[in-house]
Amino acid sequence: MKGQTKRIIDKILDQESKGDEFQRLMAKSKLVMKGIFVDKFTEDTEDDPDTIAKLKEIAKEFNVSLNDLELEEK
């Protein structure tokens, strides 16, 4: 599978920033502090189950719902 990681990251950034550029940068910084190197992930990045699990946990911490992403269950 490819691209799922990037889609989750984008969802978190979209929800946290709600279109505000400064808040998007802050949300990105928070993800980097949590060990997710946002810029490394593209639509072509192979998904790693550990990273996906970590991102799901982070989404929960931010109270961001991933329900509409139709994620592949591992």
Report in angstroms how near the CB of residue 7 gets to another protein at its nearest: 21
62 makes contact with another protein (CB under 8 A): yes
Of the candidate residues 34, 43, 65, 69, the single one contacting another protein (CB under 8 A)? 34
Report in angstroms how near the CB of residue 50 gets to another protein at its nearest: 9
Count of C-beta atoms within a 10 Å radius of residue 27: 22
Distance (Å, whole) CA 52 – CA 46: 11
Q: Which helix (H) or strand (E) holds 6?
A: helix 4-17
Stretch of residues binding another protein (CB under 8 A), selected from 3-11, 21-29, 65-73: 21-29
